[in-house]
Amino acid sequence: MAEEYDLVVLGGGTGGYVAAIRASQLGMKVAVVEKGELGGTCLHRGCIPSKSLLRSAEVYRQTKSAGDFGVTTGNIELDFSRVQDRKTNIINTLHQGVKALMKKGKIDVFQGFGRILGPSIFSPLPGTISIEYENGEENTMLVPKNVLIATGSKPRTLPGLDIDGTYVMSSDEALQMERLPESIIIIGGGVIGIEWASMLADFGVKVTVIEYLDQILPTEDQDIAREVEKQLKRKGISFVKGAKVLAETLRKENGVTIEAAVGDSKQVFSAEKILVSVGRQANTTNIGLENTDIVVENGVIKTSKYFQTKETHIYAIGDVIGGMQLAHVASHEGIIAVEHMSGLNPESLNYDNIPACIYSNPEAASVGLTERQAKEQGYEIKVGKFPFKAIGKALVYGESDGFVKIIMNKANEDILGVHMVGPHVTDMISEAGLAKMLDATPWEIAHSVHPHPTLSEIMGEAALAVEGLQIHG
Cis upstream peptide for 453 (omega within 30°): yes
Could you give the C-alpha distances from 322 to 91, 159, 242, 366, in angstroms and in order? Answer: 26, 21, 25, 19
Say if CB 185 and CB 334 are below 8 A apart.
no
Question: Is-catalytic flag, 452?
Answer: yes
What is the DSSP annotation of 165-230? SSSEE-HHHHTT-SS--SEEEEE--SHHHHHHHHHHHHTT-EEEEEESSSSSSTTS-HHHHHHHHH
Please give the distance of CA 50 from its chain centroid, rounded to a whole number: 10
CA distances from 374 to 249, 288, 408, 410 (A): 41, 41, 9, 11
The rounded distance, in Å, linking the Cα atoms of 183 and 49 is 21
Q: Which amino acid is at 53?
A: L
Are 211 and 182 spatial neighbours (Cβ–Cβ below 8 Å)? no
Identify which of 113, 136, 144 has the alpha carbon closest to the alpha carbon of residue 28.
144
420 sits in the region (left: phi over 0; alpha: psi -120 to 50; else beta) called: beta
Cα–Cα nearest to 189, from 206, 214, 164: 214
Catalytic residue among 419, 450, 452, 472: 452
Cα separation, 220 vs 184, in Å, equals: 24
Q: Provide the 3-class DSSP secondary structure of residue 157.
A: coil
Among left, alpha and beta (phi > 0; psi -120 to 50; other), residue 160 is left
Catalytically active residues are 452
